[in-house]
Amino acid sequence: MNRYPPLKSLLFLDAAMRSSSFSLAAEELCVTPGAVGQQIQKLEEWLGLSLFVRQVRQVVPTAEGIAYWKRIQPALAQIADASRGIRNRRSRSVCLSMPPSFAACWFTRRMAGFLTSHPDIELHVNSTAALVDFERDAVDLAIRYFDGRDPALDATLLYPDEARVYCRPDYAATLGLRAPADLERATLLDTTLHPHWRLWLLRFAGIDEVRFEAIARVLFDQGLMAIEAAKQGQGVVMSSPVLVAEDVRHGRLIEPFGQCLPLASGYYVVHHRRLAIRPATLAMKDWLIAESRAGI
């Protein structure tokens, strides 16, 4: 037997352990969840032990799997750090990671501006919901949705967040949505990013638990899908203003009510506090901050 395990499988194991999900690992690695499962199984066969327990719609790391991962993780980090050091010395590229919704709704329509003003920088965009580990991942800069508190990160706020309500103009007209209490007649498009309907309706419409449970709702695991459903007239979505600004400007969505729910989280540009930031990365960071100061 080869004294080394299948090395490619170790990268898949690392991604799956960090996310506790084959689907999120697949998204990070740009492969299918099935490919992740095959690589993990290949490693399990080589080791002769189970690294994950497969359950319905989820995988759970075994105690042996976690122990093995913790043993190999420092070595993977060393490889990544050495490789990143060489790449950083020889390249004017910047790898930027951000949530898919932010990438689609905010970054892509501004990206050309950065490339025009910095034609010598090669930009790599990684659109993923997985959290970046700057000591291990080949990522220079990230936009993260959180409360801004992490002692390992240098975090600069781009946009504070608040929960606001949006729908199509004809949807609001058809249902007569003039006050928050009118939402009892609507379909609420709920998301995992903004699961605040219960609190919003209690605060602004006085709708209690019993009345809330009677309102029609659809739950989406991706904010983009919920926003698209609202644009198709399927209901009312709760979203960050930054994610729907373009749709509001073009009249595809309106905000039928003025009430908003301030949130503790926001969109921050982050990088590792102790790792040196290259000029190309600093240029991207400064550009992101300047764009955010210009509004949404």
For 196-260, give the secondary structure using H, E and C.
Answer: CHHHHHHHHHCCCHHHHHCCEEEEECCHHHHHHHHHCCCCEEEECHHHHHHHHHCCCCECCCCCC
Q: Is 161-263 the same fold as 91-158+265-293?
A: yes
- Full-model pTM: 0.71
* Residue 241 and residue 166 in contact, taking contact as beta carbons nearer than 8 Å: no
| Fold observed for domain 91-158+265-293 | D-Maltodextrin-Binding Protein; domain 2 (3.40.190)
Tell me the average confidence (pLDDT) per consecutive run of 10 residues in the chain, 296 residues long.
83 90 87 91 92 87 93 88 68 90 94 94 90 85 96 96 97 97 97 92 95 96 93 97 96 95 96 89 96 93
In DSSP terms, 95 is beta-bridged to 124
Q: How far apart are CA 26 and CA 11, in angstroms?
A: 11
The reported pLDDT for the residue numbered 178 is 95
Quickly name the fold that domain 161-263 has. D-Maltodextrin-Binding Protein; domain 2 (3.40.190)
> How big is the CA angle at 69 (ends 271 and 99), to the nearest 5 degrees?
35
* Amino acid, res. 270: V
Which pLDDT belongs to residue 88? Answer: 61
Please enumerate in sequence order all residues whose Cβ is within 8 A of that of 112, keeping only pairs 6 or more positions apart, or say none: none
Query: 104 is written with which tokens?
Result: 């689609």
**All structural domains of the chain with their residue ranges:** 7-85, 91-158+265-293, 161-263
What's the pLDDT at 94?
Answer: 93
Provide the CATH topology of domain 7-85: Arc Repressor Mutant, subunit A (1.10.10)
